[in-house]
């Protein structure tokens, strides 16, 4: 039977795995040294494994989202114009998602970090083939994880807007969570994306688990990561780079699949937008859009 540990604490999803050991004394020592709120789990394998989880003691409710214009303007005033525009649209998308989906799906796990949006835009190959640009927009927004939740859903929307900035008549295939097409082809892309970004941030922690003969790590939503399928033995900086590249490639594949499912092979070789063309579309092309229809 596979030896499985949880990445997020089963009773507190805002607590994530930070350290593991076969020694009770060592795990307690690590807990004493931690400056964060902590929880412990002992996994009763034949050779027990002890895991330390760190996180915030409280998770805010989606009802607490109140990104009014003044508050948002104060947070993004130091960003370049492109970052400001994308931040506004991402917040609108998040609010639309919260409005449409079950409130329990949208707990606020972290602070809003708008400066990471500009970092994401700086890592896009603007003007490259459209699947590359759209995929990199999606990939880098996911990697920077600027929103308190719904980063994958809002990043897929940004991929769609990127394609529309080249062809406003583009019709996106349905990617609604409650639609059969989601389970058929969208969800597997999202699941693999979450696996890659989780390994990217935790290769050394997962290597430690592997050395304790753990086979599987399960993150929230029941997503399992089989450790033997990933290269973990590398410096953490190397892992950040290696898995970022794999994640970009994965999202570019998703962008290509979107175009193919939309039967728009004519766009596969089209040049993607420049940054200014993308920002102009976000400002002027979405003024009357009801983002709730996207969720």
Is residue 238 located within the same domain as residue 126? no
Q: What is the pTM of this model?
A: 0.90
The reply to whether 253 falls in a domain is no
Is residue 98 located within the same domain as residue 15? no
Residue 1 has pLDDT above 90, yes or no: no
Contacts of 112 (CB under 8 A, 6+ apart): 67, 75, 91, 146, 147, 148
Query: What percentage of the chain has pLDDT greater than the value 70?
Result: 89
Is residue 100 located within the same domain as residue 193? no
Q: What is the pLDDT of residues 159-199, one digit of tens each?
A: 999 999 999 999 998 766 666 776 788 889 999 999 999 99
Is residue 164 located within the same domain as residue 77? yes
Is residue 108 located within the same domain as residue 162? yes
The reply to whether 157 falls in a domain is yes
Quick one: pLDDT band at residue 91, thresholds 50, 70, 90? confident
Is residue 77 located within the same domain as residue 141? yes
Domain count, the chain: 2
Q: What range defines the domain where residue 41 resides?
A: 4-58+179-243
Closest CA to 223 of 182, 185, 247, 190: 190
Nearest-angstrom CA–CA distance, 112 and 145: 9
Task: Collapse the DSSP code of 171 into the 3-class scheme (helix H, G, I; strand E, B; otherwise coil) and give the result.
Answer: coil
Is residue 54 located within the same domain as residue 84? no
The reply to whether 38 falls in a domain is yes
The reply to whether 77 falls in a domain is yes
Task: Collapse the DSSP code of 75 into the 3-class scheme (helix H, G, I; strand E, B; otherwise coil) and give the result.
Answer: helix
Q: What are the two backbone dihedrals, phi and then psi, of residue 173, each rounded to the nearest 5 degrees?
A: -60, 150
The reply to whether 63 falls in a domain is no
Ranges 57-71, 120-134, 184-198, 205-219: which has the least confidence: 57-71
């Amino acid at each position: 039977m596979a030896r499985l540990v949880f990445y997020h604490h089963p009773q507190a999803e805002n607590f994530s795995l930070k350290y593991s050991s076969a020694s009770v004394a060592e795990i307690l020592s690590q807990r004493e040294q931690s400056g964060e709120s902590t929880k412990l789990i002992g996994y009763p394998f034949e050779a027990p494994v002890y895991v330390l989880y760190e996180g915030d003691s409280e998770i805010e409710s989606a009802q607490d989202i109140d990104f009014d214009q003044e508050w948002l303007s104060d947070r993004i005033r130091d960003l370049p114009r492109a970052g400001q525009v994308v931040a506004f649209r991402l917040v609108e998308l998040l609010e639309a998602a919260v409005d449409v989906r079950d409130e329990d799906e949208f707990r606020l796990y972290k602070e809003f970090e708008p400066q990471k949006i500009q970092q994401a835009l700086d890592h896009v190959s603007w003007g490259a083939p459209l699947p590359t640009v759209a995929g990199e927009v999606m990939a880098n927004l996911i990697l920077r994880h600027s929103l308190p939740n719904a980063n994958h859903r809002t990043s897929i929307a940004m991929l769609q807007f990127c394609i529309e900035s080249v062809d406003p008549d583009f019709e996106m295939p349905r990617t609604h969570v409650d639609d059969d097409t989601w389970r058929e082809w969208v969800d597997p892309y999202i699941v693999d994306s979450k696996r890659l970004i989780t390994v990217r941030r935790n290769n050394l922690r997962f290597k430690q688990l592997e050395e304790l003969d753990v086979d599987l790590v399960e993150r929230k939503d029941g997503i399992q990561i089989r450790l033997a399928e990933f290269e973990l033995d590398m410096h953490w900086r190397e892992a950040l780079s290696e898995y970022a590249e794999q994640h970009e490639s994965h999202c570019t594949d998703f962008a290509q699949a979107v175009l193919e499912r939309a039967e728009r092979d004519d766009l596969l070789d089209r040049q993607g937008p420049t940054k200014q063309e993308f920002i102009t579309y976000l400002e002027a092309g979405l003024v009357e859009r009801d983002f709730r229809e996207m969720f």
